[in-house]
Amino acid sequence: MIRELHHIALVVTACAVIAGCASREADTPVESSIAFRDSSLVVMPDTCTDSSCSVDDCGGVRINRVLAYGDSAVASRINGVLASTYLAALAGPNPDAVVAPSIGDAVSTFLAQKMAFRKEFPESASGDWTFIARDSIVRSDSIICIYQSAYSFTGGAHGNTVVAMPAFRATTGERITWRDLVRDTSVFIAAAEQAFRRKVNMSATDSFAKAGFWFENERFTLPGVIGITPTGYMLVYNQYEIAPYSYGVIEVPLPFDAATTTQQSSK
């Protein structure tokens, strides 16, 4: 059972830039615009016979995405990156898993693997395989940043959540990262560590290991995901990246001004 819904969600004219010394963006208006629409894909499992059931009740797949449109080249670049997050998540954690060419193919493979699992282990009480994902726009001016969250359950004690925050230049659709905006990496890392310690209620001298974190040699490291919001950066440590599953996804906001003044203020 597949239900697909599309409607226009947001139209954004890209005309603003990041303010302040944390950015290298030119102080001129952006001359292009990009628009977004919501796209909802729901696939219920064959075992679900009640039309009133949801993915949360019976398992299956629900993906609420945002799709860019307007300038075809820009939209294509953005949509390709956004799709890759869920293609990888649907393929599973195995690094040798084959990544499907499209969301539809990936969903079909996910459900086929579920049926094969059920056939091999008919007495399994681990629950129905479930994949739930959503996109939300966190920034949309000269830089577009999308928050992506994917939860998957394929048996076992618990599911797993993966968060991504890809950012793009609105005029070209090219990827942009914090490194493109930060002049002094050492200041950024120092500010990020201070923000992290505040987030998890650690003092400046507390041991990461004693607090349960897996920073090698007690040296703070940046996460694999750093988003760009209207007011600063969002540091995202995914599950198992630096701590046990029970710690969940750790999100640490870092304001632009903190990322540029930490070094001076700490002297």
Grade residue 32 by pLDDT with cuts at 50, 70 and 90.
Answer: low
* Beta carbons of 74 and 171 less than 8 angstroms apart: yes
Grade residue 267 by pLDDT with cuts at 50, 70 and 90.
Answer: very low
What CATH number did the domain enclosing 8 receive? 3.30.565.40
Taking CA atoms, 45 is separated from 41, 52, 151, 162, 226, in Å, by 13, 13, 17, 23, 35
pLDDT of 164: 98
| 32 and 51 belong to one structural domain | yes
pLDDT tens per residue, range 198-229 = 999 999 999 999 999 999 999 999 999 999 99
pLDDT tens per residue, range 140-198 = 999 999 999 999 998 878 899 999 999 999 999 999 999 999 999 999 999 999 999 99
pLDDT tens per residue, range 99-151 = 999 999 999 999 998 888 888 877 765 568 999 999 999 999 999 999 999 99
Grade residue 11 by pLDDT with cuts at 50, 70 and 90.
Answer: very low
| 192 and 124 belong to one structural domain | no
User: Looking at this protein, which amino acid is placed at residue 232?
Assistant: G
Q: In the chain, how many domains are there? A: 2
| 70 and 118 belong to one structural domain | yes
pLDDT tens per residue, range 16-31 = 333 333 444 433 344 4
Last residue of a domain, one of 150, 169, 188: 169
| 134 and 79 belong to one structural domain | yes
pLDDT at 262 over 60: no
| 148 and 246 belong to one structural domain | no
| 133 and 42 belong to one structural domain | yes
Grade residue 15 by pLDDT with cuts at 50, 70 and 90.
Answer: very low
Residue 201 burial (C-beta neighbours within 10 Å; 0-12, 13-18, 19+): exposed
**pTM recorded for the entire structure:** 0.85
| 138 and 212 belong to one structural domain | no
pLDDT of 9: 41
| 144 and 49 belong to one structural domain | yes
Taking CA atoms, 254 is separated from 200, 244, 246, 261, in Å, by 14, 23, 23, 12
| 162 and 92 belong to one structural domain | yes
pLDDT of 261: 67
Q: Which domain holds residue 87?
A: 2-169
pLDDT of 46: 76
Q: What is the mean pLDDT of residues 75-88?
A: 96
Q: What is the mean pLDDT of residues 80-93?
A: 95
